[in-house]
Structure 1
Amino acid sequence: MANTLYRPLLQTLTIHSATFRFARYYGKWMHRNPAKVILPFEPKDNVQLRKEKVIELDSDFFKKTPKKETIQKSIAETSEESLQNKVNFKEVKDKKETLLKKRLFYLSQKKVFDDKNEIIYEKLKDNDSKISSLFVKLKSKKERLRSNQIMVEGWRMIVDGLEAKCNIQYILFSRIEDLNNLRPFLPKTGVQIYKIPYKEMELWSDVETSPGIVGVFEMPTPEQIRRFSKPLPLQFLCDNIRVPGNLGAILRAAVGVGCEKVLLSKGCVDIWDSKVIRSAAGAHFRLPIYSSIDWEEMPQHLPSDTSLFIADSNTDFVENETEETSKVGSEIPVLPYYGVDFASLNHVTLIIGGETESVSEMSYRLGVNSNGARLHIPLQKGVDSLNTGMAAAVIAFEIRKQLTQAAAKAKRDRQAAKY
């Protein structure tokens, strides 16, 4: 009874299954791409088929059994090949281990280049304790002085330090091309180089867009500064320069004009502050700088034959001056900066005051005791003063111009005397 009921259903499923199978194979047949379709009524002479190479095999080939010698030879060849692969693998492994040991030895010895003259560096991951502890020290003024280290950002400023033969201790970078820019200037040994992710560099950078490379130098002393040319008989004395950008601009002007050295009184901003270093554009490595000098010790840093001048825009002392400062400052004569014959002087000391604090009473007292003068830069009506860095540059380049002209005239006179 049950078979009678289910028989029509089974027949229906069988028919549908055969139909689906036919449709599937029909679809595959329809998508064929035959080389050529030969029609029954087409002459055989017009049929052009591509000839394929046919490999003919001897019918007895499959009946033959390999000889025992052949099998043994094949096994021997396979064993020899396997043994050779093991030997090659061992050689490659030993070579890698040797290279790794040599690299670790070079890193421990702080070597900069390997046997192939490639720069050796160690790749570090995010939040490595070496980097975080190093940056924490460099960010603190107290720790900088204790460790005697300074940090500069950007490969150009690192090159300035390397050209000045300053001792570099660490290089941290993110991009290989920045490191390769330092290649001609790098020492052979003594530097630890680390590659860290750029986002880590951004985290510790003092600028909005990190240059991607940082150099850590041993803090240079004035005696270690390497000069590229003979300096002028001119020095700056910075009095209460509190703004980092202003001090950096003064140092940059001092290097550009060819100053002998720069003196900083107590109260000036930290000379190794990151903003001062950036705005000075490498001046720290090319100029002897004496910082945090007490006013009682200041005369010891002045040559005995120096002539002292004060860059001062306040010529009448009518505003923002204490009675004592006004009284002392009024005792010093005021001259336009171009009205002095600097070429006739043996040595010049130029005092530059801060914009917020202006020139201090101690500077005026030093000027009185040294028979100095105040230099005034005439400005357009409605303009009170110039930026301290700009004022220093204006006066310093006037001094340079007069000294250069005097030297050229003396040279012409000597040549004329020979003839």
Structure 2
Amino acid sequence: MLNKFIFNSSITRAIANCAYNFNKAQLASSPEINDVDSGIQFKKLKLNDRDLSETILTIKSKKRKQRDQKIIIEGNVLIKEALKAHLKPDKFIFSDIRKLNDFYKDIAKIVGNNVVKSIENLKVPQTDLTFYSALTTCPGLIAIFDKPQLIPKKSNALPITVISDGCKEPNNIGAIIRVCNSLPVSELLLPKGNVDIWDTKSIRGSSGSVFHLPTQTQLSWEEMDQKIGSDDLVLIADNNLSRYKSENVLDYDKIPDELITNKGQFCVIVGGESQGISKEALSFAKTRDWKVVNIPIESTANSLNISNALAIILFELRRKFNLLL
């Protein structure tokens, strides 16, 4: 039975791969239509077009997303932000040619006509567009982009690296990215166990900040150990103070000046929504100079949202940097 299951699974995977490659070829061979009024060339797809459905589902698949290096971005605002960040567009999926034409006129001023002409346009029924959308209300335009390979560090970045330890919610990781980009920090590191930062909801939660912030994902803690200097000060954001000795705990607004002036680089670790700081993260911190940063809150409040807590700590650090450095 086991051999039969493995055999059947192998056949299923092979058929799925063949179907995907065939569907991509079919999609590419669809006839081009030239809209007379706008001059936009596009391919008109039928309701429930199987080829496009396979393409969308393939990109949304976690394993395929890592291999094919494609991401999905929804809505004019985020697509425009991706273009400003020089992400490479592949396909635009739309239902209203007039709205697409208006959008193209807008973005041509930003990226130029050559980029606009390089995009493959696919016209689908509105019901399909709504089905493909990951959002409650379909924004009217879905784009497929190449995933950015390297986002450069900003020249004004603070000497802070943030580690997200086990964030499971796309909206929360998006908010963390947005906070990190707003300072900005040098980099955001995400060990294994975090939600995908290129998930559609993560991108939306970041308000496009993910296009501008240097990030590294799917790291092991051994790799993390190589990326954070042995002399860096590690600050753990955690309100579960019972885990720590009192001498290792500081209130966020009482970080001693000498810690700021004596340390060249800083690392801030923020835990997940429900589990908090993992054993692996704590073990990592204890190999360096480390402190737990506490944010006093009203006793009737259970805790702060992780992105809010991170924002309080990071902006307090920036205030001290501006005063002391």
- TM bucket (normalised to shorter chain) is 0.7 to 0.9
> Residue 376 and residue 255 in structure 1: after superposition, are their counterparts in 2 closer, same or farther (change >3 A)?
same
* 2:69 maps to which of 131, 148, 152: 148
Question: Which of the residues 199, 216, 221 maps onto 1:290?
Answer: 216
**Residue equivalent to 2:200:** 274
Q: How does 1:13-412 map to 2 (within 5 A)?
A: 118-175=39-96, 176-178=98-100, 179-180=103-104, 181-186=106-111, 188-189=114-115, 190-221=118-149, 223=150, 225-226=151-152, 230-317=156-243, 329-330=244-245, 333-340=248-255, 341=257, 343-344=260-261, 345-406=263-324
- In structure 2, distance between residues paired with 1:166 and 1:332: 47
DSSP-derived class of the 2:130 partner: helix
**Distance (Å, rounded) in 2 between the aligned partners of 1:127 and 1:390:** 42
How far apart in 2 are the matches of 1:377 and 1:118? Answer: 57
- Three-state SS of the structure 2 residue aligned to 1:398 is helix
Q: Is the 8 A contact 1:309 1:374 kept in 2?
A: yes
Q: State the shift of 1:152 in Å.
A: 0.8
Q: Aligned AA for 1:338?
A: D
Secondary structure in 1 matching 2:320: helix
- Return closer, same or farther for 1:363/1:330 CA change in 2, 3 Å cut-off: farther
Alpha-carbon distance between aligned partners in 1 of 2:302 and 2:218, rounded to the nearest angstrom? 29
Alpha-carbon shift at residue 272 of structure 1 (Å): 1.9
Question: Using the alignment, how far apart are the partners of 2:188 and 2:79 within structure 1?
Answer: 22
Tell me, yes or no, if the aligned pair for 1:332 and 1:367 is still in contact at 8 Å: no
Q: In the alignment, is the contact (CA less than 8 A) between 1:265 and 1:294 conserved in 2? A: yes
Indicate conservation of the 8 Å contact 1:332/1:374, yes or no: no
How far apart in 2 are the matches of 1:385 and 1:192? 47
Alpha-carbon separation, structure 2, partners of 1:284 and 1:365 = 28
Q: Which residue of 2 aligns with 1:89?
A: none
Partners of 1:151 and 1:216 within 8 A in 2: yes
Q: 1:307 to 1:394 in 2, by over 3 A?
A: same
**Structure 1 pair 331/405, CA: closer, same or farther in 2 (3 Å)?**
closer
Could you tell me how far apart the structure 2 residues matched to 1:266 and 1:332 are?
30
Structure 1 pair 366/151, CA: closer, same or farther in 2 (3 Å)? same
Higher alpha-carbon deviation: 347-356 or 172-181: 172-181
What displacement does 1:183 show? 3.0
Give the whole-Å Cα distance in 2 for the aligned partners of 1:349 and 1:255: 15
Q: Is the 8 A contact 2:231 2:289 kept in 1?
A: no
TM-score after normalising by structure 2 = 0.80
Name the CA distance, whole Å, in 1 between partners of 2:141 and 2:107.
Answer: 10
Letter paired with 2:126: Y
Aligned AA for 1:128?
D
Provide the C-alpha distance between the structure 1 equivalents of 2:234 and 2:247, rounded to a whole number of angstroms.
11
Deviation at 1:186, TM superposition (A): 4.1
Higher share of residues assigned strand:
2
Query: Counterpart of 2:222 in 1: which secondary structure?
Result: coil
Cα RMSD of the aligned pairs, angstroms, is: 2.7
Instruction: State TM-score, norm by structure 1.
Output: 0.63
Shift of 1:372: 0.5
1:305 positional shift: 4.1
Larger radius of gyration: 1
Q: Secondary structure at the match of 1:281?
A: coil
Unaligned runs of 5+ in 2: 1-27
Secondary structure of 2:134's counterpart equals: coil
Distance 1:165 1:332, change over 3 A: farther
Higher relative CO (Cα under 8 Å, sequence separation at least 6) belongs to 2
Q: Is contact 1:206-1:274 (8 Å) kept?
A: yes
d(CA) in 2 for partners of 1:233, 1:332: 25
AA aligned to 2:161 is Q
**Is the 8 Å Cα contact of residues 311 and 375 (structure 1) preserved in structure 2?**
yes
The Cα shift of 1:250 comes to 0.7
Q: What's the offset of the Cα at 1:192? A: 0.9
Give the conservation status (yes or no) of the 8 Å contact 1:239–1:359. yes
Give 3-state SS (helix, strand or coil) of 2:63's partner.
Answer: helix
Distance 1:337 1:205, change over 3 A: same
Give % identity.
Answer: 31
Q: Deviations over 1:367-416 (max 9, x none)?
A: 22102000000112222310111111111111122223345xxxxxxxxx
Amino acid paired to 1:405: L
C-alpha separation between the residues in 2 aligned to 1:153 and 1:302? 35
